[in-house]
Chains A and B, each alone.
Chain A
Amino acid sequence: MARRVRRSGLTMPINTPRFVDRSWTRNCDYLNFDFEDSVPQSQKAYARTLVAHAIAQGLKGGADITIRINCAYPEADVPAAVLPGVIQINFPKAETAEQMRNLDRLITEAERVQGIRPGTVYIGANIETTLGVTNSYEIASASPRIDTFSGGTGYDMSMDMGVEMFVGFDQFVYNCGEGALVAKALGLEYTGSVYLPDTSGNVGDRDLTRKRAEANRHAGLRAGGGLHPNTVQPQNIGLTPTPEEVQEAQRILTYFAQLDEQAEVEGELDGRMVDKYEAARAAELLEWSALCAQKDAHKAREQTRTTALEAQERAQA
């Protein structure tokens, strides 16, 4: 499976047209249309009829489309959610491997019915409860559709643990450690975040988002997401390597290639030790930088095309 770029993404209720119809203008790497917590019970059935429209809106901006379903009734949600253009189904409050196997079966059937190539649709297993944390390994290894994993944080997790979320210290060390280790044990991409103190809980704080994104980039983490449009650009920028970093990575690779030719395994470049691990890190950064550039070009192309089309439509009207 190819490595995906998802520096920024917005989760929004699929039944709120003013969010969905403007979603393509946000410049997100992905959009997560929600069937779950942001949709009231009375609207759940209606929400299931809105997927094709939401996909069309989201794709106008070049974003990847994901759908968050309800954990309680995947049988109803999955057939409605798996349509051409959807790349991932997010399963909230994942707690058991059986839930993942069931979800995998439902997606397989939906792919068959829709004529989507088998294995196209990923599963996002969201750990948001203590039971989910204790079953992390079984959950993450239950389906080959799971290619990324991280530990449990967030509102639901806090609620289940009986703690406040924004207290200024990291209450989730164990959850996140477990999630990261499971991801690494299974060879999945870890999509967690480093910890930064946050006592405000403001979901639209540009500065904090940017700071966190940069800290994540330095720690080698690559994924973001949020609830407020203010988070999108700070994450797009903060998670993309700077030109200086790219240049430095190229120097390290060149230097390491020279070392290797001399049958040496390590050396010093400007007072910094370089070995095969540093070289691998530099190579990863270059790969990541290229993927970001590709994604940015794709989004720009789609957004330009959509803007032109809409201008044309207005002119004809």
Chain B
Amino acid sequence: MGDRIRRSWLIVPAHDDARLEEAARAGADVIVLDLQDMVHDTKKHVARARVRETIPRLCAQGAEVFVRADIELLYADLHASVWRGLSGVMLSGVTSVAQVQEADSLLGALQAERGVVRPPPVGEILEADDPVSPEQALELHLCFDTGRGNWDAVQLIQASTRVKSISLGRADLVMDLREEPSGDLHLMPYLMQRLIIIANATGVQPIGAWWRATSRGLVASDDDTLAAAITGRQAGFKGGLCMRTHQVAALNKGFTPTEEEIAQAASVLTAFAEARANGGGSARTDGTVIDASRTAIAANLIAWVTACTKREQGRATVVAQTQATAQPRA
């Protein structure tokens, strides 16, 4: 069934009604209800209490919903979060296999107890309803924002089959990485490339964008976000995290191939098919060689674009259904 399209992950404090309202209509592929950094300790209980009613409201706008839990407050955060409509849980500050296993078993227990399953791709119909099926297991997204987490990334990913995606989270802030004369954040190019390699080696989605020091990562301007998304996609990321509604469009755009790239990929496929039909193993056009691997890259791009289009259709379907239910015919 392949990776789900999650180009934009918008993180919103779970207790902030105004920002939630705005986020719901932002067109984010994923909305992450935050119970961690963006919620003051004195407001944690209020935020937790909102999660159950908020999830369906966000799903109704065609978003997938995750919750970002506080690793120190895992039990309470997960009990507040595992309700119908939730796709998974984001864990930041993960440093040990035991933490991942604890999250895994809590999710398993809560899914079984409450009969909660991971929803199907947005706009599709759920055919089975089985909390213990691997397809319907709630996911974990691990943020490797500490040195320890990054160093042990492979073991942490392999600690649970629920881990489907990883990111550096706010490594720039948690690890206090600051600006280099080159404009990159100190250590980030190394960490980003390392993360992408590990993600592909372990079969999970690498999430992130090529943030530079001039933009403050998760709260950057539209232009900076678009640039970070485009470079991020070129580097191998599949989608990026953000904290401001206005960044969503830039992430969705940057992580979707351009018309030009699509046309280019299509011409590669055509040229290779022609070469094959004529008994050749590769084609040459405009001085470039089109062989099987280049063709496979083009085919991947077309598959990704097709999935992006399907994701947008799914969103449109869900939004239309929501509007139809909200305004029943007289």
A interface residue numbers (CB < 8 A to B): 137, 173-174, 176-178, 180-187, 194-196, 215, 218-221, 260, 263-266, 273, 275-277, 280-281, 284
Contacts and interface: CB of A to CB of B under 8 A. Distances in A.
B216 A184 contact: no
A260 B42 CA distance: 10
Contact of B151 (A182, A220, A221, A275): A182
Interface in B165-207: 170, 173-182, 186-187, 189-191, 194
Contacts of B274: none
Given A219-B178, A219-B180, A264-B40, A181 B150 contact: yes
Given A173-B190, A220-B186, A181 B180 contact: no
Interface of B: 13, 37-40, 42-43, 146-148, 150-152, 170, 173-182, 186-187, 189-191, 194, 216, 219
A192 B248 CA distance: 36
A220 B42 contact: no
B31 to A, nearest CB: 19
B36 to A, nearest CB: 10
Nearest to A272: B216
Contacts of A277: 170, 173-174, 176
Given A177-B190, A273-B219, A265 B40 contact: yes
A-B complex: 9 closest residue pairs judged by Cβ atoms: A184-B147, A177-B190, A185-B151, A277-B173, A185-B147, A263-B40, A219-B186, A220-B178, A219-B178
Contacts of B148: 184-185
A177 B191 contact: yes
A280 B152 CA distance: 25
B176 A177 contact: no
A257 to B, nearest CB: 13
Given A185-B148, A194-B180, A221-B186, 5 more contacts: A177-B187, A177-B191, A184-B148, A185-B147, A218-B178
5 contacts: A173-B189, A185-B148, A194-B186, A195-B180, A215-B180
Nearest to B186: A219
Nearest to A281: B176
Contact of A183 (B147, B174, B194, B216): B147
Nearest to A175: B190
B151 A181 contact: yes
Given A182-B151, A263-B43, A277-B170, A219 B179 contact: yes
Nearest to B36: A265
Interface centre among A174, A178, A180, A273 (most CB of B within 10 A): A180
